[in-house]
């Protein structure tokens, strides 16, 4: 069985008109997952992350800044892309809390797979800086919880978002218990993700170029990244599931289709089966063409269900 964590509050983070990271993204995902073929999904409201859970990966000043009240009808710009609105704090707490709850339920053996359909996304948020639409690093909060509360020794974070997850890399730069593996387009925001960025040997970055499509994407994962993940033998697989490498996405220039997301998802399920007793938690990151996002997420979740 697949468990899905989401919350209506995640629709109430409003970055502003014409912002690509809009509530319509999550609404499109939830509509796609409301079809009869997804009726078997166990749907659970995401709890709020606690301050202690957030402080495992973020500074106290950062947490306070993200949770500071914003007056109704106003917005606070942290940079030109990253915005706090009156509903943001609750949305961000639920997005991070979904990951904690998903890790708990998967490690308890209640389900093998969980998907967190939440926003705002997280993988650009560093330990002390919100950026790239991201406030709290949701997947990092889940990984740190797995290490601290469940005492795991090896957690893999797999990131196939088209943008490099600089925040996740930053948070776990010196944490050998976490292996961070990313494929992404370069050059592209945020400008990080070179192969030479290795942390303590626990960071693996591989870049694709504008115009690259399914063959190169699959070759990269099959020939390089998946073997490295298997060698690490993670006890838990966490996925930063960004769908913005799709050929129709307006913010990047790769040429994947929804079938490629089904392919990589199947490979990650096999990895989790091989190394981690099947335990896998996936979390929504990017994806900014609504039709492509909905189709790609549905393909991803369908594999997780099976």
Q: Tell me, what's the pLDDT at 12?
A: 98
CATH code for the part of the protein at 2-305: 3.40.800.20
Evaluated on CA atoms 62, 66, 69, 72, the torsion sign reads positive
| pLDDT (mean) for 38-67 | 98
Q: Rounded to 5 degrees, what are φ and ψ at 41?
A: -65, 135
Task: Give CA–CA dist 183/162, Å, rounded.
Answer: 7
Per-residue pLDDT band at 306 (split at 50, 70, 90): confident
- Would you call 124 a catalytic residue per the annotation? yes
Q: Tell me, what's the pLDDT at 1?
A: 87
Number of H helices, E strands in the chain: 10, 10
Q: What percent of the chain has pLDDT over 90?
A: 99
Q: What pLDDT, in 10s, does the model give residues 117-141? A: 999 999 999 999 999 999 999 999 9
Choose the catalytic residue: 13, 123, 124, 184: 124
Q: What pLDDT, in 10s, does the model give residues 211-267? A: 999 999 999 999 999 999 999 999 999 999 999 999 999 999 999 999 999 999 999
Q: Tell me, what's the pLDDT at 66?
A: 98
Per-residue pLDDT band at 193 (split at 50, 70, 90): very high
CA-wise closest residue to 122 among 103, 104, 96, 97? 96
User: Between vectors from CA 86 to CA 15 and to CA 286, what angle results, nearest 5°?
Assistant: 35
Strand residues in the chain grouped as ranges (E) = 2-6, 42-45, 76-77, 83-84, 113-116, 155-159, 178-185, 203-208, 236-241, 280-284
Q: Which residues pair with 206 in a beta bridge?
A: 183
What's the whole-number average pLDDT of the chain?
98
Domain residue spans of the chain: 2-305
């Amino acid at each position: 069985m697949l468990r899905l964590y989401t919350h209506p509050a995640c629709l109430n983070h409003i970055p502003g008109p014409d912002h690509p990271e809009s509530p319509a993204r999550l609404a499109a995902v939830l509509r796609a997952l409301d079809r009869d073929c997804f009726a078997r999904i166990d749907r659970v409201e995401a709890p709020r992350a606690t301050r202690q859970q957030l402080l495992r990966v973020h500074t106290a000043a950062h947490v306070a800044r993200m949770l500071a009240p914003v007056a109704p009808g106003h917005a606070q710009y942290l940079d030109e892309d990253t915005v706090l609105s009156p509903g943001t704090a609750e949305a961000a707490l639920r997005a991070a809390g979904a990951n904690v709850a998903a890790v708990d339920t998967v490690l308890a053996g209640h389900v093998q797979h969980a998907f967190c359909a939440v926003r705002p996304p997280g993988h650009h948020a560093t330990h002390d800086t919100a950026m790239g639409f991201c406030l709290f690093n949701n997947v990092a909060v889940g990984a740190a919880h797995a290490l601290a509360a469940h005492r795991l020794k090896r957690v893999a974070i797999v990131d196939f978002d088209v943008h490099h997850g600089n925040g996740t890399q930053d948070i776990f730069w010196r944490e050998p218990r976490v292996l961070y593996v990313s494929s992404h387009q370069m050059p592209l925001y945020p400008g990080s993700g070179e192969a030479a960025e290795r942390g303590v040997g626990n960071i693996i970055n591989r870049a694709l170029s504008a115009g690259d499509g399914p063959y190169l994407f699959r070759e990269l994962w099959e020939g390089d990244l998946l073997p490295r993940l298997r060698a690490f033998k993670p006890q838990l697989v966490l996925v930063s599931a960004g769908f913005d490498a799709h050929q129709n996405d307006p913010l990047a220039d790769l040429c994947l289709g929804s079938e490629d997301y089904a392919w990589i998802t199947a490979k990650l399920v096999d990895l989790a089966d091989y190394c981690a007793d099947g335990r896998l938690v996936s979390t929504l990151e990017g994806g900014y063409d609504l039709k492509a996002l909905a189709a790609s997420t549905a393909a991803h979740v369908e594999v997780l269900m099976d």
